[in-house]
Amino acid sequence: KEEKENESPKEWKLEPEHEFRFEVDFGTTVKLKLIEGTAEIFGTEIGIGPEYEFSGRKVAVFTWHGKSSVEYLANETPMVSYLNMHLALEQCREAARERGGPGPRVMIVGPEDVGKTSLTKILLSYALRQGRQPIFVDLDTNEASLHYQPSFRNLYVNKIDDDDDTPTFNQGTVTIPGALTATPINQILDVEEGFGSSATTLPSIGSSTTPIVYYYGYAEPGENVKLYKILTARLANTVNLRLDQDEDARTSGLIIDTSGLIDNNVGYEILQHCIQVFSANIIIVLGHERLYSDMARLYKDQSDIKVLKLSKSGGVVNRDKMFRRQSQMRKIQEYFYGTSKVGLQPFNASIDFHSLSIYRVGFGSLAPSSALPIGIDRKVSETQLVRVEPDETLRHSILALITTDSPEEPALLEANVSGFLYVSEIDNVKHKMTILSPCPGRLPKPYALIGGFKWMEA
């Protein structure tokens, strides 16, 4: 049953293996309720009874069983092929468990808007429903796909509350656009993409439920290819260390979502790099014949790497630049303020300029080659750490707080992120800046990275 604001509810009956698709603009809300039968949204089952709310989303409600009836929605979906893919992955996982070896390392590639993120969610949910604990690796810096995991803010909160070990709260969003993340999936994905209402256990620092986050700082991997490669390699390394200690995750394997950059210049270079550093052994090419044949050719001599193709769902919707930008801004907003369902209370603080050292990686977006310091060419400059002196240009910037004790390269460049700050005001006279922070108290470490994201508090 679909209920729009100020409209009387509509009821839909779904045939087996059919889906009901709908789009909700930003600023409007659609409520959805399952009245009978079974249904799932991108792999996650929804229950009978509760109302699910959607805003600024494009959604598909799918049923395996449905109800044969006169009224139905005739949709062709590739869900059977997605389920078969999952079953094949399950066989790999079973074999891995028997051998005690590693599970499948799946990488989903394809152009923009073919449903890579949706397929990722489906495969993760199905794995979870079978009792697996795969690790979700998100290399798509355009969006922050997962919002249900409560642990990320904790990372920061716990650090701050080290002294009096009373965690302030434990619900929060994982991360914001521009981040590269790896998250162990051990609880149900939230269909509303808000905050997991079931996710209330408090993970401890460094536990296997803590996401791993690095800050790249830009939406497009092509913006600073060298940095993107360094950070994905670093992420892969950390994921491997985690897998060494966690047998369930190791045998369940990885599901890696990628960005839609597939031009055969930097796009291919980045894809090949990611396949290599994550030792991906199953490459799923979604909805793109040429990319499939190119990938199949590139890896034809490597018997340990399988390149497979799946077709795009007819339901996948193209998102224009405006919609993407709005989604990014909303994710940042949610990081600090939560959602309409679960509100969060961020904190304003005024801090001295000198209490935080801010670094930018690369001169790229700052200066043309001719304006670079003497002796620094563009290649080198891509990963050069540049200290940013606070001034007006910092206003409305997003900063990633990093966990390092050493302000040296490469420690600073490759440090894990503990949380994000927003710079709302700069006072050049008093040398102070006003920051919005997810939690009160002193900053865990006085180092931050800045990328290209700006945000305006609504």
Binds ligand ATP (CB under 6 A): choice among 13, 105, 116, 147: 116
Only one of the segments 126-134, 135-143, 239-247, 348-356 lies at the binding site for ligand ATP (rule: CB under 6 A); that segment is 135-143
What is the pairing mode between strands 30-33 and 105-109? Answer: unpaired
Question: Cβ of residue 199: shortest distance to ligand ATP, in angstroms?
Answer: 21
Only one of the segments 138-146, 298-306, 401-409, 417-425 lies at the binding site for ligand ATP (rule: CB under 6 A); that segment is 138-146
Is residue 196 a contact residue for ligand ATP (CB under 6 A)?
no
Is residue 113 a contact residue for ligand ATP (CB under 6 A)?
yes
Closer CB to ligand ATP, 4 or 58, in the complex:
58
Question: Cβ of residue 120: shortest distance to ligand ATP, in angstroms?
Answer: 7
Q: Report d(CA 313, CA 69) in Å as an integer.
A: 24
Closer CB to ligand ATP, 104 or 267, in the complex:
267
Closer CB to ligand ATP, 144 or 433, in the complex:
144
Is residue 142 a contact residue for ligand ATP (CB under 6 A)?
yes
Question: Cβ of residue 314: shortest distance to ligand ATP, in angstroms?
Answer: 7
Q: Is 336 exposed, middle or buried (0-12, 13-18, 19+ CB in 10 A)?
A: buried
Q: Report d(CA 151, CA 433) in Å as an integer.
A: 28
Is residue 260 a contact residue for ligand ATP (CB under 6 A)?
yes
Candidates 152, 150, 160, 151; CA nearest to 439 is 160
Closer CB to ligand ATP, 113 or 161, in the complex:
113
Q: CB 188: neighbour CB atoms within 10 A?
A: 16
Is residue 330 a contact residue for ligand ATP (CB under 6 A)?
no
Binds ligand ATP (CB under 6 A): choice among 140, 192, 223, 334: 140
Only one of the segments 160-168, 212-220, 316-324, 358-366 lies at the binding site for ligand ATP (rule: CB under 6 A); that segment is 316-324
Asked if residue 330 lies in contact with residue 409, where contact means CB atoms within 8 angstroms, the answer is no
Asked if residue 92 lies in contact with residue 253, where contact means CB atoms within 8 angstroms, the answer is yes
Q: Report d(CA 62, CA 119) in Å as an integer.
A: 13
Is residue 115 a contact residue for ligand ATP (CB under 6 A)?
yes
Q: Which helix (H) or strand (E) holds 435?
A: strand 432-437
CA–CA distance from 315 to each of 21, 70, 147, 182, 312 (Å)?
Answer: 7, 23, 22, 27, 8
Is residue 328 a contact residue for ligand ATP (CB under 6 A)?
no
Q: Strand pairing partners for 20?
A: 61
Closer CB to ligand ATP, 31 or 378, in the complex:
31
Question: Cβ of residue 61: shortest distance to ligand ATP, in angstroms?
Answer: 9
Closer CB to ligand ATP, 217 or 315, in the complex:
315
Tell me which residues in 34-63 interact with ligand ATP (CB under 6 A): 58-60
13: helix, strand or coil: coil
Question: Cβ of residue 84: shortest distance to ligand ATP, in angstroms?
Answer: 17
Is the torsion defined by CA of 272, 92, 100, 247 positive or negative?
positive
Count of residues that interact with ligand ATP, criterion CB under 6 A:
23
Only one of the segments 88-96, 124-132, 313-321, 445-453 lies at the binding site for ligand ATP (rule: CB under 6 A); that segment is 313-321
Question: Cβ of residue 226: shortest distance to ligand ATP, in angstroms?
Answer: 22
Question: Cβ of residue 186: shortest distance to ligand ATP, in angstroms?
Answer: 22
Q: Report d(CA 147, CA 53) in Å as an integer.
A: 15
Question: Cβ of residue 259: shortest distance to ligand ATP, in angstroms?
Answer: 6
Binds ligand ATP (CB under 6 A): choice among 138, 143, 192, 382: 143
Asked if residue 140 lies in contact with residue 258, where contact means CB atoms within 8 angstroms, the answer is yes
Closer CB to ligand ATP, 142 or 224, in the complex:
142
Asked if residue 450 lies in contact with residue 420, where contact means CB atoms within 8 angstroms, the answer is no
Q: What angle do CA 204, 208, 212 make, to 5 degrees?
A: 95
CA–CA distance from 2 to each of 76, 139, 179, 317, 333 (Å)?
Answer: 21, 33, 34, 19, 27
Binds ligand ATP (CB under 6 A): choice among 2, 15, 17, 112: 112
Q: What is the DSSP string of 68-104?
A: --S--------HHHHHHHHHHHHHHHHHHHHHT----
- Residue 149 CA neighbour count, 13 Å, CB half: 27
Question: Cβ of residue 53: shortest distance to ligand ATP, in angstroms?
Answer: 15
Is the torsion defined by CA of 158, 159, 161, 165 positive or negative?
positive
Binds ligand ATP (CB under 6 A): choice among 183, 313, 339, 418: 313
What are the residues binding ligand ATP (CB under 6 A)?
19, 21, 58-60, 110, 112-118, 140, 142-143, 259-260, 313, 315-317, 319
